[in-house]
Chain A
Amino acid sequence: KQEVTQIPAALSVPEGENLVLNCSFTDSAIYNLQWFRQDPGKGLTSLLLIQSSQREQTSGRLNASLDKSSGRSTLYIAASQPGDSATYLCAVFSRGGNTPLVFGKGTRLSVIA
């Protein structure tokens, strides 16, 4: 059974810092891994999708990496801004098992001006 863990659960940084959010998963047989952002009271917005054959994806100040062998993904945010404050979730789409998609519990990020 796939399990997804996100560390830390919460993070507070000053504006301008570069930061890394972590996501680990127990079963490396995955189709892809997706990072989402959720603002308070809002839905989930897709940030980056990494296919199992890829090692990283970039969009603007965001870079997501994937290391299937170690069961890890990182989301790197460069030059953080107060507008980046949100909860970041990773989701793993697995090949096996009855439940194809498993979410982590998220990291709540606060960027302080």
Chain B
Amino acid sequence: DAGVIQSPRHEVTEMGQEVTLRCKPISGHDYLFWYRQTMMRGLELLIYFNNNVPIDDSGMPEDRFSAKMPNASFSTLKIQPSEPRDSAVYFCASSPGGLGLFFGSGTQLSVL
């Protein structure tokens, strides 16, 4: 397996634009997590899914953020409209029922 795959690796956009981040978890993993990391706040959990169902989205900063998992092999994190304070590295991770966590390489987002 190729591991958790995230795209794009880097995204530069202007304030107000819509941004969509994509994640393909490892096949067979039933948990999927979206994290955001900044120097100031460290690693923050935004939302996680279990068997494609959102379980806890209390970490989503505001209504501009939304996440979907239409099937077991794909998830998106969308920011609309984007703001400069959304600039961060966004990580996706998957887990096979609590037996460890496997991270993607992250998406570096810069909102100008």
Contact = CB atoms under 8 A, between A and B. Distances in A.
Given A89-B43, A99-B56, A103-B43, A43 B101 contact: no
Contact of B45 (A31, A43, A45, A101): A101
Interface in A49-93: 49, 51, 89, 91, 93
A34 B105 contact: no
Main SS of the interface on chain A?
Answer: strand
A99 B46 CA distance: 11
Given A101-B45, A105-B42, A46 B55 contact: no
Which label, helix, strand, loop or mixed, suits the secondary structure of the B interface?
strand
A46 B56 contact: no
Interface of A: 31-32, 34, 36, 42-46, 49, 51, 89, 91, 93, 98-101, 103, 105-106
16 contacts: A31-B99, A32-B99, A42-B105, A42-B106, A43-B103, A43-B104, A43-B105, A43-B106, A46-B102, A46-B103, A89-B43, A91-B101, A93-B95, A93-B101, A98-B55, A105-B43
